[in-house]
Amino acid sequence: MVQADLPCRMTAHEAALSLGSNLGDRWQWLKQACSLIDCHPDVRITASSPVYETEPCGAPDAFAGLNYLNMVVVVATDLPPLVLSEAIHAIESRMGRRRSVLPNLPRNIDIDIICFGELTMNTHALILPHPRAHLRRFVLQPLSDLLPHLLLPGQSRSVTELLNGLPETPQVKRLN
């Protein structure tokens, strides 16, 4: 018998992706991103979290009121991490995402790889696991809904334990 509170890890062919939007029809952007991810011939969404409304983190004061909708999806894929990252960037571009050299500006869609199996890597193109995932309530809350006992690579506490150790702000609010 397997105990439900045992730490778990993702398989080598699973990745957790964080999706966010704070411009325009945020629900529609998330829905479209999920559809495009799942339509990729080498990627299949196996789980989706609830959607949360979240206060922006580190946004310039002029954009402080543009709350995000955030969610996490788990995907199964045989793609290598860098190829998955390129595919995700292609989806963002297809959806009209324009990257800026300025950080934390509003965006219609943002898709980040949070973790890819147990891989750790640090290249110019991709850092795994995401270097700030363990500090972000808008990532940990939806990830905890899906995989509460997941240990992110390099972490000794589960995503739920990491979540419980974060300050209450910025807040996240689950939407129906």
Question: In this structure, what CATH number is given to the domain that contains residue 145?
Answer: 3.30.70.560
pLDDT band, residue 1 (cuts 50/70/90): very low
pLDDT at residue 52 in the model: 98
**Planar angle of CA 172, 162, 29, nearest 5 degrees:** 40
Percent of the chain whose pLDDT exceeds 70: 97
Mean of pLDDT over the chain = 93
Which residue's entry shows tokens 């939806």? 142
More confident residue, 1 or 80: 80
Top pLDDT among 12 and 48 is at 48
Q: Please identify which residue in the block is written with the tokens 């940990």.
A: 140
Residue 101's domain spans which residues?
14-174
4 inside domain: no
Q: What is the mean pLDDT of residues 56-70?
A: 86
